[in-house]
A and B are shown apart, each in its own frame.
Chain A
């Protein structure tokens, strides 16, 4: 029952009785963050993943700029690029050229590159926001269940079981189907994105909640918590100052691993046609449209497929590396 964060010095800043300042700084250990960062930097695979994640995030943020420089507006039709009989690009390689970097969509002639770049915005936005929702709910519920135990734990644990048994995909499809035009002061795509974030985030919290509960269960029996309690610290103080700092690492690691799952989930929903409204570009939506043309225009299917694949892989590699870096047991 060793907590992965039982790193020497990790608990130090949390000591409530830390009245006397530590003497000289010479023998002071490096902070948790410093240790992890050093180890992470040595992990080349994780750093490549990290680099790609940062790159995709930049692409998403700078999409309009990138498209202005290298592409065409993502919803602009280019029928001059399409064969009127075959409905596919009238140039070889699916229309790939200096002008259309990844070629053009069959039927519409829209610039695939621009749509991939804009699709990154939806994917990253929903991936990040939904993960935040899951993490916040999961952490709060997990810590409460683990720390208080008893009927509180039993109740929250059953709740998690219920959520885990929920047919999420079916529910999401049904719910997105009945979204009104405007609600909560939002409308159109803004509302749909908000609802997708809510569905994906809200129903995924038990995964992270269970992990946090387990960590909390083992942490609350440790001496420093005992010490704080014996000194009369309130539950809230212990939760906030003693437990949470020690839970930062698992939260970080699982967030990093949850983001790609959520990106995939959003892609799946878009693929099934219950994502954001047309003609907004999303990777899942593009993939779904490409199915009919896998033969005639393989570039149309490969581009969003690779975008999803590489982004998810990068997040996973980075997440793995982060876990290794933060877990003292992997130290040689």
Chain B
């Protein structure tokens, strides 16, 4: 049910861009001392000053500015400037940033006793940019268009269509009578009731997606809505936007900060330039001419080297974990990995320090010993296949090889995405490490664009080509073990194509635990279950997690209130302002 952050998935090579200040530079007034990695855990340059133009840059462009039609973490963060959802993530650094707070709704969702109805009540006095009041129908319409019209709106996730009991509703473009959409009921102007097929305890996370941001039905232009989104947040489009052209946001006079749990109205204007060359972007960031790389994927190699060598520049950089787990999946349907001992030989033989080097050393990531990302609530550190200094354990490899009857080693293949240099290097690192034990792996590179849909993600292809070991990476759509694990270890998620459960793991115990977690109300109890899933998944010896990816992000001195938001795994754009 949960899918990866596409943004992060696409991340490894391209990064995004930044912005420039027009309000003049300066040292953001005596706030927190800026030092390396300070923004990962605290607010750098706190200031209440308003004004200025906050300039973002993007190395490519957004999949869409339509809050209902996007699947990039950066976009989910950026749309908060003009599209408020029912609930949203707290504007806090560190773990507190993972907490949900009511945004348009008065409170978090209220669930009925049978777990099938989640109710939200809109705050009073909410208005669109043209002054019309926001009603429950507008939210209902937004969900209907974003989840039930896959022919027209198809870039975002479709959790609502999976969760809601909507029969065979065909979406608002086919079926103009919104009353036929039974998945949501609106007993009055301010009450929204989501009707679920089955109980789902983490529904608030789904309600936090920008898809619940209200859309007035008469302003909807299908996939062209992104050119003129009707704002309900602090900023609105200055004029109709042409994709590819610079985006300008100006203040929305109808926005009432009193209704907002976040402070997201510091700059006077917001500007996003698209298709900015990465190295040029990095240089402009370092000069303070641009303010932020909006894609939030980090700096290019050239700038990394420069920043890490220069103490002053380094003090303006942060190195947080991205929540993205890098791992190799071992497929037990490919010989000789049908024998667990053979899989263990790979787990014990891997040199994780070399793989870490492949991703840029300590700055590129922290060595991982289990699947669950450390920032996930409930994370418990375990290392069931630990080796001395993570460099591999020759004795245990020899034991494992003997146990699986392949004393002299064996031949296999490692697949990777050929257009991702770091993943390729990590695959080479694994190949080199295994070669020392007689396990000869041939490297097979495939295009990232088809890797999940046609190669590693197609069990038939995997078996035909005998891809025993596959490089992969995964991040969660929302910060919970369910969001992380469901697609990669649950037996039900195995698909003929576009499969992300690359190990084809179908362990009844894991399946049951995840299914049960979905209907368990107590978060603490759920967290325990996720830790258990983690241990079971590791015990299957089909997963070789090696790194918790880290990004190197840059924050110019003239930007205020900068911190890394754990929810979207990039700087929290909503809080930013400019030193005046």
Q: Is B302 an interface residue (CB 8 A)?
A: yes
Chain A residues 64 to 123 lying within 8 A of chain B, measured CB to CB, are 75-77, 79, 82-88, 107-109
Are the C-beta atoms of A85 and B306 separated by less than 8 Å? no
Q: Is B308 an interface residue (CB 8 A)?
A: yes
Are the C-beta atoms of B443 and A278 separated by less than 8 Å? yes
How far, in whole Å, are A259 and B358 apart by their CA atoms in the complex? 35
Assuming the contacts A79-B354, A273-B419, A278-B443, asked whether A86 and B431 have C-beta atoms less than 8 A apart, the reply is: no
A81 CB to nearest chain B CB (Å): 11
Are the C-beta atoms of A181 and B432 separated by less than 8 Å? no
Contacts of A177 in B (CB 8 A): 447
Are the C-beta atoms of B357 and A292 separated by less than 8 Å? no
B551 CB to nearest chain A CB (Å): 15
Chain B 418-449 against A: per-residue CB contact (8 Å), 1 yes, 0 no?
Answer: 11010011011101100000000011110100
Assuming the contacts A292-B300, A292-B301, A292-B302, asked whether A84 and B428 have C-beta atoms less than 8 A apart, the reply is: no
Within 8 Å by CB of B361, from A83, A278, A295, lies A83
Contacts of A51 in B (CB 8 A): none
Contacts of B427 in A (CB 8 A): 278
Are the C-beta atoms of A76 and B432 separated by less than 8 Å? yes
Contacts of B363 in A (CB 8 A): 85, 87
Assuming the contacts A79-B357, A83-B361, asked whether A188 and B309 have C-beta atoms less than 8 A apart, the reply is: no
Contacts of A76 in B (CB 8 A): 432
Chain B 175-202 against A: per-residue CB contact (8 Å), 1 yes, 0 no?
Answer: 0000000000000000000000000000
Chain B residues 300 to 327 lying within 8 A of chain A, measured CB to CB, are 300-302, 305-306, 308-309
Assuming the contacts A82-B357, A85-B363, A108-B358, asked whether A77 and B305 have C-beta atoms less than 8 A apart, the reply is: no
Contacts of B424 in A (CB 8 A): 278
A-B pairs with beta carbons under 8 A, tally: 75
How far, in whole Å, are A87 and B447 apart by their CA atoms in the complex? 26
Chain B residues 341 to 373 lying within 8 A of chain A, measured CB to CB, are 353-354, 357-358, 360-364
Residue of A nearest to B433 (CB): A77
Are the C-beta atoms of A85 and B308 separated by less than 8 Å? yes
Chain A residues 248 to 293 lying within 8 A of chain B, measured CB to CB, are 273, 277-279, 289, 292-293
Are the C-beta atoms of B301 and A293 separated by less than 8 Å? yes
How far, in whole Å, are A96 and B301 apart by their CA atoms in the complex? 22
Assuming the contacts A77-B432, A293-B301, asked whether A84 and B357 have C-beta atoms less than 8 A apart, the reply is: yes
Are the C-beta atoms of A75 and B361 separated by less than 8 Å? no
Are the C-beta atoms of B305 and A86 separated by less than 8 Å? yes
Q: Is A45 an interface residue (CB 8 A)?
A: no
Assuming the contacts A181-B465, A292-B302, asked whether A86 and B308 have C-beta atoms less than 8 A apart, the reply is: yes
Within 8 Å by CB of B442, from A85, A109, A188, lies A188
Assuming the contacts A83-B361, A292-B300, asked whether A77 and B306 have C-beta atoms less than 8 A apart, the reply is: no
B297 CB to nearest chain A CB (Å): 15
Are the C-beta atoms of B431 and A85 separated by less than 8 Å? no
Residue of B nearest to A288 (CB): B421
A271 CB to nearest chain B CB (Å): 13
Contacts of A87 in B (CB 8 A): 305, 357, 360-361, 363-364
A193 CB to nearest chain B CB (Å): 15
Are the C-beta atoms of B431 and A279 separated by less than 8 Å? yes
Contacts of A296 in B (CB 8 A): 301-302, 305
How far, in whole Å, are A57 and B415 apart by their CA atoms in the complex? 33
Contacts of B421 in A (CB 8 A): 289, 292
Within 8 Å by CB of A295, from B302, B353, B357, B445, lies B302
Assuming the contacts A87-B360, A107-B358, A108-B358, asked whether A295 and B429 have C-beta atoms less than 8 A apart, the reply is: no
How far, in whole Å, are A235 and B520 apart by their CA atoms in the complex? 90
How far, in whole Å, are A103 and B424 apart by their CA atoms in the complex? 22
Residue of A nearest to B422 (CB): A107
Contacts of B364 in A (CB 8 A): 87
How far, in whole Å, are A83 and B358 apart by their CA atoms in the complex? 12
Are the C-beta atoms of B425 and A107 separated by less than 8 Å? yes
Are the C-beta atoms of A75 and B432 separated by less than 8 Å? yes
Question: How many residues of chain B get a CB closer than 8 Å to chain A's CBs?
Answer: 32
Question: Majority SS of interface residues in chain A?
Answer: loop
Contacts of A85 in B (CB 8 A): 308, 361-363
Residue of B nearest to A188 (CB): B442
Contacts of A293 in B (CB 8 A): 301, 305
Assuming the contacts A107-B425, A273-B418, A278-B428, asked whether A84 and B445 have C-beta atoms less than 8 A apart, the reply is: no
How far, in whole Å, are A177 and B419 apart by their CA atoms in the complex? 12
Contacts of B305 in A (CB 8 A): 86-88, 293, 295-296
Contacts of A295 in B (CB 8 A): 302, 305-306
Are the C-beta atoms of A79 and B353 separated by less than 8 Å? yes
Contacts of B432 in A (CB 8 A): 75-77, 279
Within 8 Å by CB of A77, from B308, B429, B442, lies B429
A87 CB to nearest chain B CB (Å): 5
How far, in whole Å, are A273 and B417 apart by their CA atoms in the complex? 11
Are the C-beta atoms of B361 and A277 separated by less than 8 Å? no
Are the C-beta atoms of A279 and B444 separated by less than 8 Å? no
Are the C-beta atoms of A86 and B465 separated by less than 8 Å? no
How far, in whole Å, are A82 and B308 apart by their CA atoms in the complex? 15
Contacts of A83 in B (CB 8 A): 361
Contacts of B428 in A (CB 8 A): 75, 108, 278-279
Are the C-beta atoms of A277 and B444 separated by less than 8 Å? yes
How far, in whole Å, are A83 and B309 apart by their CA atoms in the complex? 12
How far, in whole Å, are A86 and B429 apart by their CA atoms in the complex? 18
How far, in whole Å, are A103 and B138 apart by their CA atoms in the complex? 64
How far, in whole Å, are A188 and B444 apart by their CA atoms in the complex? 9
In this complex, the member of A79, A87, A188, A289 whose beta carbon has the largest number of chain B beta carbons within 10 angstroms is A87
How far, in whole Å, are A181 and B461 apart by their CA atoms in the complex? 12
Residue of B nearest to A280 (CB): B443
How far, in whole Å, are A5 and B432 apart by their CA atoms in the complex? 55
Contacts of B418 in A (CB 8 A): 273
Contacts of B354 in A (CB 8 A): 77, 79, 108
Contacts of A279 in B (CB 8 A): 428, 431-432, 443
Are the C-beta atoms of B361 and A84 separated by less than 8 Å? yes
How far, in whole Å, are A109 and B425 apart by their CA atoms in the complex? 12
In this complex, the member of A82, A177, A294, A296 whose beta carbon has the largest number of chain B beta carbons within 10 angstroms is A296
Contacts of B308 in A (CB 8 A): 85-86
Assuming the contacts A188-B442, A279-B431, asked whether A86 and B357 have C-beta atoms less than 8 A apart, the reply is: no
How far, in whole Å, are A108 and B358 apart by their CA atoms in the complex? 7
How far, in whole Å, are A83 and B361 apart by their CA atoms in the complex? 8
Are the C-beta atoms of A277 and B445 separated by less than 8 Å? yes
Contacts of B360 in A (CB 8 A): 87, 107
How far, in whole Å, are A316 and B432 apart by their CA atoms in the complex? 38
B305 CB to nearest chain A CB (Å): 4
How far, in whole Å, are A76 and B306 apart by their CA atoms in the complex? 28
Residue of B nearest to A293 (CB): B301
How far, in whole Å, are A14 and B357 apart by their CA atoms in the complex? 66
Residue of A nearest to B303 (CB): A295
Contacts of B431 in A (CB 8 A): 279
Chain A residues 109 to 154 lying within 8 A of chain B, measured CB to CB, are 109
Contacts of B301 in A (CB 8 A): 292-293, 296
List 11 A-B residue pairs with CB atoms under 8 Å apart, sorted by A's residue number. Answer: A82-B357, A85-B308, A86-B305, A107-B425, A108-B357, A108-B428, A273-B419, A279-B432, A279-B443, A293-B301, A296-B305
> Nearest 10 CB-CB pairs, A to B?
A292-B301, A296-B305, A84-B361, A279-B428, A87-B361, A84-B362, A87-B360, A278-B443, A77-B432, A295-B302
Beyond A79-B353, A279-B431, 19 additional pairs, beta carbon < 8 A? A75-B428, A76-B432, A77-B429, A82-B361, A84-B357, A85-B361, A85-B362, A86-B361, A87-B357, A87-B364, A88-B305, A107-B357, A108-B429, A177-B447, A277-B443, A278-B428, A278-B445, A292-B302, A294-B302
